[in-house]
Structure 1
Amino acid sequence: MDYKQLKDDIKNHAAALGIDKIGFTSADPFLSLKDILLAHREKGYESGFEEPDIDRRVYPELSFEEPRSIVSIAIAYPSKLQNPPRSEKGAYRGIIARSAWGEDYHVVLRDRLAKLESFIRERVPDARMLSMVDTGVLSDRAVAERSGIGWSGKNCAVITPEWGSWIYLGEMITNIPFPPDTPVTQSCGECTACIDACPTGALVGPGQLNAQKCVSFLTQTKGMIEDDEMKRKIGNRLYGCDTCQIVCPINKGKSWDHHPELQPDPEKVKPLLIPLLTLTNREFKEKFGRSAAAWRGKKPIQRNAILALGNFRDESAVPVLSQLLKEDPRPEIRGTVAWALGRIGGEEAAQAVARALDTEPDEAVRTELRKAVNMREEVLNK
């Protein structure tokens, strides 16, 4: 079998498979990654969403018997909304990160990888292949970088010369000995725009992310966000954060609309905030079920919507927030409402907080209620 010719055939056919860029690398261990991952863990920078076994992230042979190659794919996604709805007083909106626009990228990438597997199997019937998307054990970025897809940016994203960093990544381990591609030699150079713009200082150095401070990570947690500064830094983000990609000069002017299933519905990716607060599980599934933003359920998005209303200081939201404070069974939601009411201020919000202090059984929520009282007192004393 001429594996170089097969590789060329795959590259020539990639666009027909819906793949924007494809690269090949050996299945050798990612030894340089191991020290980085160990240091990351030692410093407490992990998100907790990663594969916990570092060796499995480094050694492909722990997931696939006798691997010979890894194939990396990239699919470009849009970064700009056509005719985006605007936030207005009394009708404020949140924003969902571009990585969750359109159909869930896990579904899209699995479809592309399945098509790639079929293309290969027609030519190599006994080929063995194992495809992974995001939740696989390997580091998508490390595979993509070694496969020549792009370079690892200071914002921890893989940046391609053609598509910028607005790309989804997936990979496939196989027993086919494809000749490897050459890594991209381009780099970020002296640019530190992403590090300078990070809202919380989570980019602690070039290519180093403290996930515990990352707004994208915070928006996906399920509990109450205790740090008041972090609550403010989230702004009106409902899921994810694009700041470090938006400011990247390589991404300037880049937006892709050639994958119809990835095109966003403006009303879903920049939704009105107040209606989100009372969504039932069924309504949430209907609105967000096909989006990658749905994977953690409705509670994080509702909590983030409450934070956004507080950050907007939206007085029109006080009645519905007061109702949630009184009736919602979830302490994370009640505690977040308490903070938002304190931030919004005004007599109606203060009365809702005072009433809740008389009946609230959860101590963490009571702490937030007392903070809200203090916020009001600080305003009155100015």
Structure 2
Amino acid sequence: MSTLSPTDYRALADQIRHWGAALGFQQIGIADTDLTLAEQHLHQWLERGMHGDMAYMASHGLKRSRPQELVPGTLRIISVRMDYLPPDDDGEAVLADPLLAFISRYALGRDYHKLMRHRLQKLASQIEAEVGPFGYRAFVDSAPVLERALAEKAGLGWTGKHSNIVNRRAGSWFFLGELYTTLPLPTDQAEADHCGRCTACIDICPTEAIVAPYQVDARRCISYLTIELDGPIPEPLRPLMGNRIYGCDDCLMVCPWNRFASPTAEADFSPRNGLDNATLCSLFAWDEATFLKRLEGSPIRRIGHERWLRNIAIALGNALTTPAILTALESRRDDPSELVREHVLWALERHQP
């Protein structure tokens, strides 16, 4: 490795982009390890308690913001993105129908973690075949990594006011992954902020979780409430959740830059089990065995059946009062789970005249 010249590394970086495109990544960028500013923002966010019950955000010391402490010897991070928006998706129509269940578009198909990590491993193997052994580790939401800050440094986009990465040519409907390396590759130019005076994402947020531009209070965010929060969902926020049972895409749907987003070409990200337009009642009827079987290979599976029912109970409480809705709720009035029962009773009270 020490025999490679700066010119060789520039050629290697170009080759890495070529290999990455062949592996299905829509873009590849390269960043250094200096995340000083992101570290400051992270600490301020944690000090204000905006991470809620996500203790893991604060439990790894400085490893999250200092890549060399997570993987000693790291010099550069190869940051990748992969589009996931299903073709012909009509999430707005699902949101507008209170009898349907809205699931964040990223979770409609197979879990992206293994797919992207496998592709990153293939990329690393191709680099190794070209230059010989080198140090690396692949990450896809699997370790304390500031993936959005790294993507921004690598030129994949800028951090929008909703805190997601926005790309001028691709919007925000994409996953991120990283390959930490010991290679002194040339770095890419960070993208400038192009949000301008737009506040569409702030204005649309159902629970007002975007408390200021670029600041999201997770404790109010529907994605946190439906996926990360383990216990009861605070009652004042329940009516604001509508029919969103797993995640929330409102800030992405309204972003003007997403008119440039392209649908995914990955078959694994296509909707499964009819989750793109399923009714609340049909999903609420799943017992645990059905939940585990139908959602095998899905990112939704990790929240477990109990939280699945909790989330749907809230959506049923926000739905139109129909015989089918009432029957569904009554079927779980005496559910073995205290958490489910509490949310079902809340929902039933919402339908009282």
Q: With the length of structure 2 as denominator, give the TM-score of the two structures.
A: 0.91
Counterpart in the other structure of 1:24: 30
Aligned residues: 341
User: 2: CA distance between counterparts of 1:192 and 1:182?
Assistant: 26
User: C-alpha distance in 2, partners of 1:155/1:79?
Assistant: 22
Question: Is residue 89 of structure 2 the alignment partner of residue 95 of structure 1?
Answer: no
2:129 is equivalent to residue 122 of structure 1: yes
Higher RCO (CA 8 Å, separation ≥ 6 residues)? 2
State the secondary structure of the residue aligned to 1:168.
Answer: strand
Alpha-carbon distance change, 331 to 248 in structure 1, aligned in 2, over 3 angstroms: same
| SS at structure 1 position matched to 2:176 | strand
Q: Which residue of 2 aligns with 1:226?
A: 234
Q: What is the CA–CA distance in structure 2 between the aligned matches of 1:129 and 1:123, rounded to whole Å?
A: 14
Q: Which runs of 5+ in 2 are unaligned?
A: none
Runs of 4+ off more than 6 Å: 83-87
Aligned-residue offset at 1:178? 0.5
Distance 1:284 1:144, change over 3 A: same
Query: What residue is the counterpart of 2:16 in the other structure?
Result: 10
Cα shift at 1:266: 6.9
Instruction: Extract unaligned runs of 5+ from structure 1.
Output: 346-378
Query: Which range moves more in the overlay, 208-217 or 273-282?
Result: 273-282
Name which of structure 1's ranges 110-119 and 167-176 shifts more when overlaid on structure 2. Answer: 110-119
Alignment correspondent of 1:317: 325
Match of residue 47, structure 2, among 33, 42, 45: 42
Instruction: Give the secondary structure class of the aligned counterpart of 1:204.
Output: strand
Does the CA-based 8 Å contact 1:202-1:213 persist in structure 2? Answer: yes
How do 1:159-308 residues align onto structure 2 when only pairs under 5 Å count?
159-220=166-227, 221-227=229-235, 229-252=236-259, 254-265=261-272, 267-308=274-315
Tell me the residue number matched to 1:58.
Answer: 65
Higher helix share goes to which structure?
Answer: 1
**Cα distance, 1:257 vs. partner?**
2.9
Deviation of 1:125 after TM superposition, in Å, equals 2.2
Equivalences for residues 130-149 of structure 1 within 5 A:
130-149=137-156
Compute the RMSD of aligned alpha carbons.
2.1
Q: Which has the larger radius of gyration?
A: 1
Deviating more after overlay: 303-312 vs 42-51: 42-51
Change in Cα spacing, 1:310 to 1:145, as seen in structure 2 (3 Å) is same
CA distance in 2, matches of 1:81, 1:268: 14
1:215-265 CA distances to partner (integer Å, 9 max, x unpaired)? 1111112322132x3111111111000000111000026341311111123
Identity %: 33
Contact kept? 2:226, 2:245, Cα under 8 Å:
yes
d(CA) in 2 for partners of 1:131 and 1:297?
27
The CA deviation at 1:75 is 0.2
